[in-house]
Structures are given as C-alpha cells and as structure tokens.
Structure 1
Amino acid sequence: MTILVTGATGEVGRCVVTELLRSGHAVRALTRRSAAAGLPGGVEVFEGDLERPESLREALTGVERLYLFPVPQAISEVVALAAESGVRRIVNLSGALADDAMFADGYQVVERAVEESGLEWTHIRPGEFARNWLDWAPSIRAERVVRRPYGGAVTQPIHEADVAAVAAAVLLGEGHAGRTYTFAGPRSLTVAEQAEAIGRALGERVRFEEQDPVTAREQWVRHGYPATVVDWLFGIWAESAHDPAPLNEEWATLVPRLTGRPARTFDEWAADHVTAFR
C-alpha cells in the first residue's frame, strides 16, 4: 500500500511522514519545493502544489490512501483527481472550530469536497496548536516576556506530533470511514500558565504581561492580521477569560484512544521546542 502525504514539509506533515514510515508501507511526500524538503530517507518526494491539481497527477498514481492538507482552492479538482488515480481513502486535516462561520471559505469547503468525493473519508479536527506559541518566540528570546491580552483565557494546546499520530492511526486503521474526530491536548491551561511552562523548559522565568485589548488589537491589525480575524479571536479569548470552560474530557481522551499512547503535555511540547525560545 502506498500513502501520499500532502503538505509534507509542514509541522504536522513532517510528523505524519515519520509516523507512517514506522508502518512499513510505501510513503510519498508532496511539497512545493522538493529540493529543500529535508525529509527522512525512504520517502519518495514529489513536487506539486494543491492549488495546481495537474501537478499532483504523478504523485497520486498508484496511491491508495491520502493525507490531505486543507487548501480550499481547487479542492474539488484535487479530490476528483485522487479518485481518478485510484485513491480509496482520504484523511483531511481540519480544525476543532471548523463549523464556525469564520471557516466557511476554508475548512468547510475542504470537508464538503471530501465528503462528496465518493471515497472513504475521515476529518481530523485538532484544537489549538501548541506551536502557535512560536509566534511569541522573538519576545521570549529578547526579553523573556509575553505580552498578550486575556491571560486568563483557557485552552487545551495540542502537540503537532499528536495530531500526526491521530492522522496516521486513521490512515492505517479500519473503522474510521465517515467519522469526524475532534480532539485537543490533555490539560486545560491559561495563557499565563503556558508562558510559565515555556519558562520551565528554559530554566528561566518567562513573564506574562497582560496587554490592553484595544492596544493589542491595533498592533495586530497594524502587523497585517485581518481585523475580522482579530475580532473573532479576541472575542473567543475574552469569553474564555471571563468564564473559563472546564477540561473537555472527550477531546482530551481521543489521542490515547486512537493511538494507544498518552497525549503529550504542553510541558513536553515546550521542552521539544526549547531551542526556538533561547
């Protein structure tokens, strides 16, 4: 059996490739720049772009199962080509909030196209990625400080390696067709507690400074984030800080249920990425 991983040089895609290599099946990787892929030996690397479906034709030939990175542009053509090429199963990356109107032009478009493909499909919907903290790496490196509004907001950050482990389990296992798996990390943590965890990994204190939401919004928009996205995100954070939700046990237990091993904690994620914060 041959499996194709799209988005193979991304944070999750690389981990999916690593997980699948352990299975003993033939693994192909799709990337826009094959010369710079830097993937492990034993992987057959193909150059292609999900926005240009014809560029996938060679990579898809002989493939039975497909890990699909969520690119909505030309998605109908991509899944049609996959079916034409003999793919039988698609596992697509989505998001825990995919049903929100904010993602009507993104995750929802991809999920709908996959469902209409006529192939076996499974949506995997992870919650907030722990790796979002890499956006704060510059200020942690320079000042050992994180400035953000809503420090009391609670999330269940998930390690990208656990997202990949779920994807691999669904690609390789049976009984997942037509299912949507929503999941998150094993613990609920405030933003301030996550900053503290990065400090523990560094062996130094990382300060959290509560930022005025109006000031923060101006900065984010000035730095290029769409105002609608900022307002949506800040709204979620504000609600969580005001009324923190308890641990979502169903989301927290899915990783061990599907993979057979405990989900990685945020402290483990921070230790795995500590060099980014030094």
Structure 2
Amino acid sequence: MTTQLQHPATILVTGATGTVGRPLVHQLVAAGHRVRALSRRPAQADLPPDVEVVAGDLADVASLARAFAGVSAVHLITFAGEGESLVDGDELVRLAERSGVRRATVLGGWDETSVERALEGSAIGWTRLEPVEFMANALEWAQSIRQGGVVRMLAAWPSAVVHEADIAAVAATALTQDGHEGRRYSLSGPEALTPAERVARIAAAVGRPIAFEALDEARERERLRSYGYSEDYVEFGIRLARDPPAEAARIVPTIEQVTGRPARTFAAWAREHADAFRA
C-alpha cells in the first residue's frame, strides 16, 4: 500500500532556484506540503510566499544546520556554488541523519559522487534521478537565435531531452510517497531529437524561421570558448559531440510510470519558453 508523507512535515529543497529545484518547490507547495528552500542569496530567490527560504551554502556544511532542522525529507544536488564544486557528501549526509531526514532524492550527474556513496551507508531511504539531458539546455541558444536567427554547433546526434518539470515531478513523488527508496530512475522525454529538430520546434513556437548550421571542430572550439569554458571542458564538449553516450537517445517510460502522466514534449517546452528566443 502506498502512503504519503504526512503534513505538516517539512521538505527541504537544495538548489531551490535552479532548473529542477524551482519547479519542484512550486509542485510541492501546490500539493500542500511545507517547503523550505536553501539559497545562498535568499533575498533574490523569488519563490512563492508560503516557502521558507533559508540562507546556506552546500559548500559549507556548517552553514546548513538551520536549513536541516526539523526536516523529514530533502532533495539534494551534488555540486555547490557557481563553480559547481562537488559537495562533501559524508558531512552532508551525517547532518541529514542527525536532523531526522527519512527520505531523500538526489539529482545525479554523469558519475556518482560522495553524496550517493554516503547515502548508501546511511539509514535514509533515497532515490537517484538520472535525467538524460535537460530541455532547458536549449536556452544556451537563445542569444544566437535572438541576434542572428541561427544556432551553430558541432553535435548532430539525437537526445531524448527531458522537461525539468517532469524531473521535479518524479522527485516530488519520491519525496512524498512510499515505494521509491533504493530506486535509480533513468528519465527521458518522449522522443529523441537532434539539435536541428529542436531548433525547428523553437522556430514553430516563436513563429519565425531559425537556421541550424553544423560546425567543424575548430569552430566548435571557438563557440565553447566564447562561453568562458575551460580548455578541459572545451575538449570534453568536442568528445561528447563526436561520441555521445549510448543512453542519450534511449526513451524510457519512467516519468509516466512514476507520476501517472506522460512526459512533456520539447514542443511544449519551446512554447513555454518562446519569449526567451524572441528578438
């Protein structure tokens, strides 16, 4: 029998103003849960008025005692700060256990971190979320589309991109209902689309033509450097564009199985974010 986390238990969302954290906060509040949001800049969080926004930095576990006090469930990210340094999972999980956390979700990346390893040795029931690629990554194209009506890049492979609100919906379910502990949920959208196909859907959403131009490796390096990425990241981007992971195009039904509703399409995402691409 599936049971729900009883109100008025407090759920802590780390990364609360991020791509997944923000919709997760909104969904939990809409479902009637008491939500506490962790932010390094509480005054700029811009979250619903019912949300308790608490200052803290995952890079400094000592700053998190107030955030974790009285919390029964927590959504965790594995990096901290603008530099995206990895979190000290051992200290973080020890704090969560001392605070009485019973459930956790972790937004996973390419590899496991000390957060997952610490949770494996803890008494906390936890769930790892493994999205293929955020639909929101397309926002990186916004400036190029607004200024020149074109997207230029090397990668041409299809990706089963997933809507950030769907990732949040899986997290909300796992945080508030039984039966998800110990699970690793691969998450995808309902279709695998190449960058050119995603650009075409953005064009339909904004109502004007947008070109797609395939780059060679030299020009792709220039493009990645223009974002301020390090040389190591630039070379990683080249390798990824040439040799994508096998899972990138794999479509899985997890979102509908967990939440009871179909995964959102990229066309729907493009309509929701059309203003970001308009000149």
TM-score (norm 1): 0.89
Q: Deviations over 1:3-27 (max 9, x none)?
A: 1111111121110111111222211
Whether 2:272 is the aligned partner of 1:267: answer: no
Q: Secondary structure at the match of 1:64?
A: strand
CA distance in 2, matches of 1:182, 1:197: 24
Q: Deviations over 1:17-60 (max 9, x none)?
A: 11111222211111111111110121111111111112111121
Mapping 1:212-227, distance limit 5 Å: 212-221=216-225, 223-227=227-231
Q: Secondary structure at the match of 1:11?
A: coil
C-alpha contact 1:4 1:65 (8 A) present in aligned 2 = yes
CA distance in 1, matches of 2:121, 2:236: 29
Q: Deviations over 1:65-93 (max 9, x none)?
A: 01112222322111111111111111111
Structure 1: gaps spanning 5 or more residues: 99-106
C-alpha contact 1:154 1:245 (8 A) present in aligned 2 = no
Q: Deviations over 1:187-222 (max 9, x none)?
A: 011111111111011001110011112221244246
Map of 1:142 onto structure 2: 147
Map of 1:121 onto structure 2: 126
Map of 1:103 onto structure 2: none
Summarize the Cα distance change of 1:117–1:206 in structure 2 as closer, same or farther, 3 Å threshold: same
Whether 2:202 is the aligned partner of 1:198: answer: yes
C-alpha contact 2:132 2:247 (8 A) present in aligned 1 = no
C-alpha RMSD of the superposition: 1.9
Point out 4+ residue stretches in structure 1 off by more than 4 angstroms: 243-247
Summarize the Cα distance change of 1:181–1:188 in structure 2 as closer, same or farther, 3 Å threshold: same
Map of 1:177 onto structure 2: 181
Map of 1:232 onto structure 2: 236
Match of 2:250 among 248, 251, 268: 248
Structure 2: gaps spanning 5 or more residues: 1-8, 80-85
Number of positions where the alignment pairs a residue of Structure 1 with one of Structure 2:
264
Summarize the Cα distance change of 1:222–1:14 in structure 2 as closer, same or farther, 3 Å threshold: closer
Per residue, is there more helix in 1 or in 2? 1
- Return the offset for 1:223: 4.2
